[in-house]
Amino acid sequence: MTDSRATALDAADPLAAYREQFIRTDEVVAYLDGNSLGRPTKASAARLSDFVANSWGARLIRGWDESWYEMPLTVGDRIGEVALGAASGQVFIGDSTTVILYKLIRAALDARPERSEIVVDTDNFPTDRFILQGIAAERGKKLTWISPDSDAGVTADHVAAVAGPDTALVVLSHVAYRSGYLADAPRITQIAHDAGALVLWDLCHSVGSVPVELDEWGVDLAAGCTYKYLNGGPGSPAFGYVRAEHQATFRQPIQGWMGTAEPFVMGPEYEPHDGIRRFLSGTPPVIGMLAIQDMLELIADAGMNAIRDKSERLTAFVLELIDEKLVPRGVAVSSPRDPARRGSHVTIDHPSFAEVNARLWAQGIIPDFRRPHGLRLGLSPLTTSFEEVRLGVDAISAELP
Ligand SMILES: *Cc1c(COP(=O)(O)O)cnc(C)c1O
């Protein structure tokens, strides 16, 4: 059974042809979790095997001088240009998001030593909260918690109510991992700055799906994943952004040789590089940076505004179907209704969803189950079709008790 609305939306979709650029298998009927792990591009399959044969296999140790050594900054610059609104020299790729958050938060606190508080919200991703709890204990700082509604997120008013002369840093997610709430990053950044605080945005769920303008918004620091909407593959390394004007003074805590001005001098003391390279620590994850590059080229080709446009149409369509087929049967929508305040995923709740999800996965319908009883439907603009959305909602409807 098809749905004429889905067919018409796919036929009118200017980005529909990009779906052909990704690897897919018949067994997966609807992939609704591209926000946890993006599909691989066909170009990445070729790039990875070519790398083993012709770069690693043929160039061996010479590859470091020829390009690998610079990749954390060259690929970082490309992420900045295509997806972050960041001029070159401000983005690096290195560790997991968790470790980059640790480095950047420590650097920010040391840059505001007279201030004692860090603002964060109770719905932020666990690793963000845990890293902050650890650093607060380590550095004798206080966490100031914002508690947003669970189906919404942190607003400018929330931040204005707590940011003050003691605030060193505000750490928030641009798109909330559960509700999908899209925070007003430019306004919140301004409010934090008016209080004399620094801002760190976690972009894990926005990079590659929502336009980001870090330079224009005046953002101090940012970090984000590359295995979600940047399709870098499982465990591909995260990126960090440090505004140019802060680089000479901010010091990160994991002082490794790769962050020094001249690593191969092998000198007696740590002398940090004076630019973005100082935020690196150890040998860069070269293989992990390969696939990101192919997705960045597709994003550059499609354009972030067209991607955002499709994302809004996908989330509007899934909500239309949810309202029609699931809400009358007791399913609750736990995401914002206003498309301007929504990222590229929608979360719904029902007490049966743990069992429903297991049955969906067995049929090749793949959403993301979130405890206690949420289903997160991640709609990745270049890979998800409207027909997949329709199949997903119909399958949930069929499995509801
Ligand atoms: C996915 C995600 C992370 C993941 O961090 P890792 O170090 O890659 O495990 C962190 N923060 C947010 C907001 C996320 O959505």
Question: pLDDT (tens digit, 0 to 9) for every residue of the chain, 401 residues total?
Answer: 567 999 999 999 999 999 999 999 999 999 999 999 999 999 999 999 999 999 999 999 999 999 999 999 999 999 999 999 999 999 999 999 999 999 999 999 999 999 999 999 999 999 999 999 999 999 999 999 999 998 899 999 999 999 999 999 999 999 999 999 999 999 999 999 999 999 999 999 999 999 999 999 999 999 999 999 999 999 999 999 999 999 999 999 999 999 998 888 888 999 999 999 999 999 999 999 999 999 999 999 999 999 999 999 999 999 999 999 999 999 999 999 999 999 999 999 999 999 999 999 999 999 999 999 999 999 999 999 999 999 999 999 999 99
Give the Cβ contact number of residue 111 at 10 Å.
17
Last residue of a domain, one of 299, 326, 345: 299
Shared domain check, 204 and 127: yes
In a domain? residue 191: yes
CA distance 199 to 187: 11
β 198-202/167-173 pair status: parallel
Residue reference for tokens 């996965």: 361
Smallest Cα–Cα separation from 132: which of 112, 154, 106? 106
Residue 141 annotated in active site: no
Q: Give the number of residues written for the chain.
A: 401
Instruction: Determine if ligand 1 sits within 6 Å of the CB of residue 173.
Output: yes
Candidates 39, 310, 376, 390; catalytic one: 376
Residue 227 annotated in active site: yes
Backbone angles phi, psi at 302, to 5 degrees: -75, -35
At residue 266, the pLDDT reads 87
Shared domain check, 392 and 313: yes
Instruction: Determine if ligand 1 sits within 6 Å of the CB of residue 125.
Output: yes
CA distance 391 to 360: 11
* Contact by Cβ (8 Å): 29, 365: yes
CA distance 113 to 134: 17
Shared domain check, 70 and 23: no
Shared domain check, 150 and 117: yes
Residue 228 annotated in active site: yes
Last residue of a domain, one of 255, 280, 299: 299
Token pair, residue 232, equals 């870098």
Last residue of a domain, one of 299, 326, 354: 299
CA distance 223 to 101: 7
Smallest Cα–Cα separation from 164: which of 197, 190, 140, 141? 197
Which residue owns the Cα nearest ligand 1 atom 1? 204
Give the Cβ contact number of residue 274 at 10 Å.
10
Residue 326: partners with Cβ closer than 8 Å, 6 or more residues away: 348, 350, 393, 396, 397, 400
In a domain? residue 41: no
Shared domain check, 311 and 380: yes
Shared domain check, 233 and 194: yes
Instruction: Determine if ligand 1 sits within 6 Å of the CB of residue 353.
Output: no
Shared domain check, 333 and 231: no
* Contact by Cβ (8 Å): 345, 180: yes
The total number of structural domains in the chain stands at: 2
Q: What angle do CA 116, 117, 123 make, to 5 degrees?
A: 160
Shared domain check, 63 and 12: no
CATH number of the domain that 373 lies in?
Answer: 3.90.1150.10
In a domain? residue 39: no
In a domain? residue 37: no
β 30-31/365-366 pair status: parallel
Shared domain check, 216 and 346: no
Residue 125 annotated in active site: yes
* Contact by Cβ (8 Å): 343, 10: no
Token pair, residue 323, equals 């309202």
Instruction: Determine if ligand 1 sits within 6 Å of the CB of residue 386.
Output: no
Which residue owns the Cα nearest ligand 1 atom 4? 97
At residue 150, the pLDDT reads 86
At residue 317, the pLDDT reads 98
Shared domain check, 108 and 234: yes
Expressed as residue numbers, the domain containing 365 is 2-31+303-399
